[in-house]
Structure 1
């Protein structure tokens, strides 16, 4: 699983500016503030006009400045509303204009003693928030110089008291204090936000990696509540449990409910958490599954984590170990068995040439030859299992491959008497498998099907059907014959080694076929339905989730 760590280089050590989106958002808010201020200034001209006429130095210029300031802010607001995205340069010019316009209004009104001087502090503060860099210090310096210039001009030209210079100096100190404090606060906030953003991005990446790992795991994982409702299911869980409806024609996007056997297992575990749940099959064509439950939250216990294991893998490993030992044993004694077996077969051939044999003797010789071939076949099959090579899967389209297989197989049979019908779904997903190994499985199933169909209906006939599983992501192939079928008591044993209902068979054909399917992460099963004969299904693995 992925380790939850944050790279040291993920966070920039010195973020000096807000992000582009933050800048635009903050500037939009600041422009709304400027628009309100300009409207208030314009409104004050009409509230007490006589007072303005008596006190203001250059009233006409002041009125023109207020009207121009309102027009500028209104134009910028309309441009932003229309989708204009101001750049860093536009923001800088806007702050500089604000400082200059405010001091122009101070100059044309009553000077530095006017309350408009307090609005300059807001402009300097906004500039340091929007551009927390050396430019913010320049805003404070420009504002301080303009304030000192206005107060100095008033003292020299208008004989104003020198207190205005002291007030201008105090305002300059406030400008620089606001600049330094807000720069420090803004940088700290942006560093914190950058760190949070970086960690959120890292967590999102880790979550994505973990999601990919969980989805590609071959162990099924479910998250349930205490009532059995599914909160989360990975792809393997859907694939293992969807076998419960693989005969249907629906295409569920997710598992909607638990199989009945799993519900009963959950109830038993809730009653006794120490109890081990017995393996179960979601459907007759599905694998045996082993489930384990655990609580996600020990204190609350409202969510339950379920691990679903495919028991066929454990069974396959045990059988492989058994067959490996059997193969070594067979390889060791094959020579010793074949020598006397060859002598028995040769003696039977010589005896058959004798002219002194009656009908009973010929029957006995036939038994000797038949069972000699059977013993030799058993040895060959076990040796083949012990020498089986690893699968080399390729991504193939099922439809073209199945048509090609049918043509090749018919060439090995009597085309005039052998009938193989073929039905292929038009939208089959591809499958990944070793072509030669699956063809060996298909040959085995087709040979068996033709033989049993011949016994029951008098002609070798089978049907091949390729379709899509209920989850819509995997393909399967059915091989159906028209023979006598398999007895109910034998259905659970047909894939076991050396089990056979045919006196001439070795009992290893279906076992070898299932082993080859499992080597390709496919599954061979017997479909139990009301149709005549037998139907064997090869369900291929999801091509994107094979490991």
Structure 2
């Protein structure tokens, strides 16, 4: 019994799945009872349609995007939805038909024809109602695909139902067929086929056909030819059904095309937004310029490169008329006239004033017209500061040199260890002073080479860093005291080392030994270049914000020269003959590994001028667990 029940349940589930698949294949508009061809769009389409309008409003405020969204805005505001446009067109057709009926009756009376009073009265009533519904927006308020999708809706009776009733009365009052009023049924049948669901459109066609057949049968009872009248009525009724079906199918296709167009417009809007975001974030300047020097679009990087101090206003703007931009205008004109530009680009110098001269590298790409009367040619300019290009090239060379240096340092380690061991064995067997001086010299240079190798390997690519929560106050205090003892600095008020540390813990994200290495390098440099005296080297630690902690190492003395300052953090640059030139470079690399940075500041105070290196460290919440401060 349980097996039979399970089989029954399985068959029921299969049947439900089949019904669901059939309903999905039919689509939401298959059920004509509650769906209109212009009813609520499918899931996602309503959002797409709304997105077009909202995007149009948003892009109207952004001057840079006017060029990209001009056509989209024009289409989106071309008169509302398809239903509203068709509904107003049918209202205008009804008003024209009503006026034509009254005009025809009046013309017939002027020509001497006898016009029944009821015919003239019904035509006048219809004309008044149709013109009022067309001209008064208040009467159109609330008209929608849903309001016309029900036979009980007042909107349906105010337009389609009224037409059926009045045209039926006109046909019944003129049974002699002096005037072919039956053709008037085409308008309500066509209107129902376009604006209502298919089932209701067929019902409207059936009503018109039944009225035509009823009037024909009435005429037969009055003595008319039965074969002729019934044949005419039957053919006219079939025509009503054909018109209703064709109008419904055309309206369905129109609705699908409109939804597809709105979806495509939404995709185009999203793609344009994505492109604009990508271009805006580019460090390389991008300009879209036409032949007349009119800038259609410009990203922030390009507007910054074209400005002397403040950024140029958003596009559109004109390149001509600004003296500093004349070389750029000349380059664009030359590119358009020549029809091309070198692939590697060319350099252009913008002179803003006697002290400000900026060299720019220009690369250009062109859009070509496919037709003679097509859209105009546009030029896309990629602009970059030559100084940035040189800096990037220098960085690439430094990175390559760093990789080579790391490989060489790795290969030097083993021979260096062998030399150190052999020199130690020789030192044990040497008794005369001359040999001891030579072995001591070898040992000094071996240790120096070891330090250089260790420095190079410290910044070589390897295992990603693992930062841990560290109490910066405790670690800096301990490292400074150890450094003072190692360098045999006196304690007390005459000590050249001064500390300004907070009493509470400051938690940062760093590796303790690497932070100690950075601090020791800065302290060694500070003591080496400081003027002798108390507090000539000062270390300060403070909370800069909720996210950052500032560690400063100051040395009182002569300021660093500007030509030296430019190369402070470059590897292998040193002002000492026996220096490796890697100390500050290692400090910068270690700080950047853990999301921090190091900067140089010169203090020109008359009381205590000197040089200061400031390390900015990433701060952690106060409840972060701490790692041990010492190894």
Q: SS in structure 2 opposite 1:296?
A: strand
Q: Any residues of structure 2 matched to 1:496-511 within 5 Å, and which?
A: 496-502=570-576, 505-511=579-585
Q: Of residues 539, 561, 569 in structure 2, which corresponds to 1:487?
A: 561
Q: What residue is the counterpart of 1:337 in the other structure?
A: 416
List gaps (5 residues or longer) in structure 2. 1-25, 31-36, 41-80, 336-340, 350-357, 370-375, 482-491, 503-507, 618-631
Q: What residue is the counterpart of 1:55 in the other structure?
A: 116
Q: Any residues of structure 2 matched to 1:367-406 within 5 Å, and which?
A: 374-386=448-460, 388-390=462-464, 405=472
Contact 1:385 1:512 in 2 (8 A): yes
Q: What residue is the counterpart of 1:296 in the other structure?
A: 366
Q: Any residues of structure 2 matched to 1:85-100 within 5 Å, and which?
A: 86-87=146-147, 89-90=149-150, 94=156, 97-100=161-164
State the shift of 1:143 in Å.
0.9
Q: SS in structure 2 opposite 1:506?
A: coil
Could you say if the C-alpha distance between residues 91 and 151 of structure 1 is closer, same or farther in structure 2, counting changes exceeding 3 Å?
A: same
Contact 2:541 2:549 in 1 (8 A): no
Structure number with greater CO (CA < 8 Å, separation at least 6) is: 1
Q: What residue is the counterpart of 1:101 in the other structure?
A: 165
Q: TM-score, length-normalised on structure 1?
A: 0.62
Q: Any residues of structure 2 matched to 1:345-384 within 5 Å, and which?
A: 374-384=448-458
> In 2, distance between residues paired with 1:307 and 1:441?
41
Q: TM-score, length-normalised on structure 2?
A: 0.55
> In 1, distance between residues paired with 2:408 and 2:414?
11
State the shift of 1:30 in Å.
3.6
Q: What residue is the counterpart of 1:18 in the other structure?
A: 38
List gaps (5 residues or longer) in structure 1. 1-11, 281-287, 395-400, 423-432, 469-473, 541-547
Could you say if the C-alpha distance between residues 342 and 137 of structure 1 is closer, same or farther in structure 2, counting changes exceeding 3 Å?
A: same
Q: What residue is the counterpart of 2:189 in the other structure?
A: 124
Contact 1:522 1:539 in 2 (8 A): yes
> In 2, distance between residues paired with 1:192 and 1:322?
61
Q: What residue is the counterpart of 2:405 in the other structure?
A: 326
> In 1, distance between residues paired with 2:307 and 2:414?
45
State the shift of 1:320 in Å.
3.3
Could you say if the C-alpha distance between residues 87 and 371 of structure 1 is closer, same or farther in structure 2, counting changes exceeding 3 Å?
A: farther
> In 1, distance between residues paired with 2:440 and 2:318?
59
Q: SS in structure 1 opposite 2:382?
A: strand
Could you say if the C-alpha distance between residues 54 and 330 of structure 1 is closer, same or farther in structure 2, counting changes exceeding 3 Å?
A: closer
State the shift of 1:153 in Å.
1.5
Q: SS in structure 2 opposite 1:389?
A: coil
State the shift of 1:380 in Å.
1.3
State the shift of 1:124 in Å.
0.9
Report Cα offsets for 1:223-246 as digits up to 9, x if no partner. 2437988654557x479969997x
Could you say if the C-alpha distance between residues 224 and 58 of structure 1 is closer, same or farther in structure 2, counting changes exceeding 3 Å?
A: closer
2:525 matched to 1:460? no
Q: SS in structure 2 opposite 1:493?
A: coil
Report Cα offsets for 1:342-393 as digits up to 9, x if no partner. 7879999999xx9x99xxx99x999998766543321210122335433579
> In 2, distance between residues paired with 1:224 and 1:277?
17
Could you say if the C-alpha distance between residues 381 and 313 of structure 1 is closer, same or farther in structure 2, counting changes exceeding 3 Å?
A: same
